[in-house]
Amino acid sequence: MKLYVKYIGRVSFFVNGKAVTEELSEKSKGILLYMVLNNKEYHRNQLKQLFWCDFSEDSANRNLRHAIWNIRKVFRSVDLDFDVLINVSKSVIRLNESLVIERDIDSFERLMAHEVISEDEVIRCLENFGQDFLENFFISDSQDFNNWVYFERESFRRKYFNNLLSLAKKSMEASDYEIALKILNNLVLLDSYNESLYLMIMKLHVKNGNKSFAVHTYNEAKRVLREELNLGLSDEMKSYYEQINKRVKEKKVLRKNKMDLNFEQIIDSNNKMTIVITSQMDHINKFKYDFLSFNKMPLIELSKIPGRRLPYEGVFEFIDEYVHLFHEDTAIQELNRISSMKTKHIDALVLFNQLSDFLKKHQREKLIVVIYNLAYMDDKFIDFVSYIYRKGCCHHMKFLIAYNKNWETSRIKFFIDAMGIMDDINIIEG
Amino acid sequence: MDLYLMKNCQVIDMVTEETQQKEILVEKGIIKKIEAPGIIKCENTYDLKGKTIVPGFIDSHMHLIPSCIDQYAINLENAKSIEEILERIRIERKKNPQTNMIIGSRLTEFSLKEKRLPTKEDLDQVAKDIPVFLSSIEFHTVTVNSYVLHQLNLPLSLEKIIRDKNNHPTGQMVNNASIIARKKMYEMFSEKNLKEAFEKVYQNIVKNGITSLIAIEGGYLFHNKHVDFLVKNKLDYPIDIDILFSTTDVNKVKVLGLNKIGGDIFLDGSFRSRNAKISESYSDAPGETGKLFFSQEEIEDLIETCILENLQISVHAVGNIGIKTLINAYENVYKKYPSKEYRHKIEHFELPDREDIPRVKKLGLVLTMHPSYENFFRGEGGMYDQRLGKERSLKTNPLRQVFDAGITVAGGSDSHILPANPLLGVHSAVNHPNINSRLTTFEALKMYTINGAYGNKEEHLKGTIEEGKLADFVVLSDNPLKSAPEALKCICVEQTIKNGKVIFSKDEQE
């Protein structure tokens, strides 16, 4: 006979794979939960105290007998001959030793004991164990049992938190930033006032080259603590933020001096995707001239024809231009397949993912993308540029973007503000 | 009646200090004309039988939703023992068997014979199956029963749950944990109950002559869903309810289309909780001088953001250091963005240093003060006396000094802490226990009329009885300008008229 007990989230019981939760009374469930967790011998008085402390002796005895009968009945409904509760003596009971017990919390322990945990396992762990221990399980007239639940719930949460935290730290050390971020973002949901979590997330974003996300995290921590508890952030958080901000401020000063930024600097600046945003068409023309006189690097020109693009039109305009750079049939076919999505219902994530995979797979040495007027491009196109920048999959692409300040939309403003603090993005103010 | 003539009334128009025999023509809720008796001809007349009228009262600082929730709360201020508390809960449940939640307020262990707060085990004796929340008078302690405790899900880093010797939670929570518990209480309070309570509170408001109020809602001590509730429901009531959202999240305020922010953005705390920031120790807690919840830089950042977003901001400052910090912040930000148009505010202003009063005037700040504090917190052994000591408590709420400095001071009740009763505020200001801080009756009335309107940028619509303004009036049983100061508390509101319509009449109520 096999019993599976789910302690995390909504309580449930399975006997030989059959769901029996609904067949058990609340107190029968409580007794099973309590006995299964420690699996030892229990004095009946102990159980009476736990569940019927306010009842008379007679009434407590009667209720305990009924609960035990209920538990036995449920197991016998699966196997008529199986007695799940053994009377060790008149007043002591225990679970049948031949009962094979499986508990979801054991899988957690086993997982945490692994030396290395894969990304899939982490995701599964967050999904399966992120909920509360014995969620909403409360028996109103069983004070001692409720105290026990509260105590166990707290211990599990603490164990879950500490284990996951050390897993996040390990992932950070192994430069596995995505996993570490997933874990920490999950822990923040559990402990939203814990500044040290926010600080770790900020550091991760910075290491990952996403300073704008680090700033966003800082602002979120600041908002939550102020709004919920009227607290300011610690000096440590502020000073780390200042460090990031200082670089941003230095960069802002640099921007002023970057009027003479030349094409070579952009091309050779680093091995990352680069974006130059300017409100001065002269700069774009200068870069384009530099480009033409420099060498024969491929060039894509977008938004040459005026008119605001419809949602996703800008992305497909990019694909249509990009396809001309290829001669290999397979690449062309692949791009055409992606382009055919325009006739279907478009899922942004699917489209962006497929396109960024293609760009990564067919990376060229360098590719210049000139956008003559960002205001002509639709918001989805801006989302796409932002997406491939975040994914870090298009190191070969150098965007030269012009925008007209008079036509600045809130999406463009947000894009420029957010991108403006990244090291590899140059905003040249006109 | 769209058009009618109010006659036979003694008008205190709040423009001059005189009482005038005038007739007022009201058309579609607006004061069309004011003349001496007999000049205006109109078929429809409304005879006020010689009563005195003043402009509709404006309460510039009220916690409207907490006042509603208080309607449901058992006031435990005078409870003498834990058994008495439990008995009152039993009675409440017996009286209202359908009740799905017990809220107790103003609990203090000092007045209980056990000298301790009840535990969850105590509360479970009388309520195992519904939530129970007992809140202390200064909100810093909340006691809950097991039912609530199991639903709280307190974040791990909050360590302010009191435990017994077996390490079991007692149900008592202090500081940050108590804030989370209170939020849970607000979440559990149903919208249906809130609507019913709102009706009762509304009746009390208009009974006291209030035609406009500023509801200070949301923020860390209360719940942001209250703001949503008010946005949704305030137009169902004929009085003007302006919302002051006590958040620092400017975007939230902008999204709701509000043009002001704050109210109880707590730069410091309160004297009762000993966290109002003062320069010298509390008299009953040597070494404690309170707390600033914002650094100088943080409060300046917030003010700057609000100025850039074109929001009127008001900030809570009580102790002299809290007030000084706030004035410094306004001063520094105004230097960066000079303008004569600003009308930002300081709420409470209970214990300013005298040298800071002229600075408030210079900056054009508006104050919202609460004269009724003097009525409730002062006196031998009173809260001010205990916390601040005799000498220092003589300096609280210096109304005379701020008026003399030429500062605009609006009046607020701070309901639900104190009653929403402007006439009580007038009485308290005129009879201030410190003779040197007393106002004249006219000045005190200004706090709840024209100054309130000015603080809310509505002086073109409200606050005086003048042609073109809203026909918001309070009809009083006696003329306050002709009453002896000590008799002011005997004056009562006979009628409240909003936009020309009678929304409260004592006769009808009787």
From B128's Cα to the closest Cα of chain A, the distance in A is: 5
From B222's Cα to the closest Cα of chain A, the distance in A is: 9
> Could you please report the per-residue DSSP string of A375-390?
GGS-HHHHHHHHHHHH
> Could you please report the per-residue DSSP string of B364-410?
T-EEEE-THHHHHH-STTSHHHHHHHHHHHTTSS-HHHHHHTT--EE
Inter-chain touch B128–A140, beta carbons under 8 Å: yes
Chain B hits for A241, CB-CB cut-off 8 Å, are none
Torsions phi, psi for B366 (to 5 deg): -100, 140
What Å distances lie between residue B385 and B108, B377, B394, B396, CA to CA? 18, 8, 9, 10
Chain A hits for B183, CB-CB cut-off 8 Å, are 228
Nearest CA in chain A to B168: A147
Query: Which pLDDT value is given to residue A325?
Result: 83
pLDDT over 70 for what percent of chain B? 99
Residue A258 has pLDDT above 70, yes or no: no
At residue A275 the predicted structure's pLDDT band, cuts being 50, 70 and 90, is confident
Inter-chain touch B247–A231, beta carbons under 8 Å: no
Task: For residue B408, give both structure tokens.
Answer: 């605009």
In what helix (H) or strand (E) does residue B123 lie, and over which residues does it extend?
Answer: helix B120-126
∠ CA(A354), CA(A360), CA(A364), 5° rounding? 130
How many inter-chain contacts (A to B, CB under 8 Å) are there? 68
Which of A381-390, B190-199, B320-329, B369-378 is modeled with the greatest confidence? Answer: B320-329
Q: How many CA atoms lie within 13 A of A132 on its CB side?
A: 19
Is the distance from CB of B25 to CB of B40 less than 8 angstroms?
Answer: yes
In what helix (H) or strand (E) does residue B361 lie, and over which residues does it extend?
Answer: helix B357-363
Residue A255 has pLDDT above 70, yes or no: no
At residue A118 the predicted structure's pLDDT band, cuts being 50, 70 and 90, is confident
Rounded Cα gap, residues B153 and B148, in angstroms: 10
Nearest CA in chain B to A196: B157
Inter-chain touch B168–A149, beta carbons under 8 Å: no
Picking from A136, A194, A229, the nearest residue to B179 by CB comes out as A229
Residue A254 has pLDDT above 50, yes or no: no
Q: Which of B100, B130, B152, B156 to probe the A interface (max A CBs under 10 A)?
A: B156
Chain A hits for B220, CB-CB cut-off 8 Å, are 226-230
For B31-53, letters b (16+ CB in 10 Å) and e give bbbbeeeeebebeeebebeebbb
Inter-chain touch A194–B167, beta carbons under 8 Å: no
Query: Which pLDDT value is given to residue A253?
Result: 41
Residue A260 has pLDDT above 70, yes or no: no
Nearest CA in chain B to A223: B249
Task: For residue B474, give both structure tokens.
Answer: 């309070």
Residue A295 has pLDDT above 60, yes or no: no
Inter-chain touch A138–B146, beta carbons under 8 Å: yes
At residue A287 the predicted structure's pLDDT band, cuts being 50, 70 and 90, is low
Query: Which pLDDT value is given to residue B366?
Result: 98
For residue range B385-436, what is the model confidence (pLDDT) as tens digits?
999 998 898 899 999 999 999 999 999 999 988 999 999 999 999 999 999 9
Inter-chain touch A193–B247, beta carbons under 8 Å: no
Residue A99 has pLDDT above 90, yes or no: yes
At residue B175 the predicted structure's pLDDT band, cuts being 50, 70 and 90, is confident
Inter-chain touch A136–B151, beta carbons under 8 Å: yes
Residue A273 has pLDDT above 90, yes or no: no
Query: Which pLDDT value is given to residue A397?
Result: 83
Residue B500 has pLDDT above 80, yes or no: yes
User: Which of B277, B232, B267 shows the shortest CA–CA distance to B246?
Assistant: B267
Chain B hits for A194, CB-CB cut-off 8 Å, are 155-157
Chain B hits for A226, CB-CB cut-off 8 Å, are 220, 248
Inter-chain touch B176–A229, beta carbons under 8 Å: yes
Query: Which pLDDT value is given to residue B136?
Result: 86
Q: Which of A147, A225, A230 to probe the B interface (max B CBs under 10 A)?
A: A230
Picking from B128, B220, B266, the nearest residue to A228 by CB comes out as B220
Can you list the domains of chain A with their CATH numbers? Answer: 2-103 (1.10.10.10), 175-249 (1.25.40.10), 263-428 (3.40.50)
Mean pLDDT of B134-140: 81
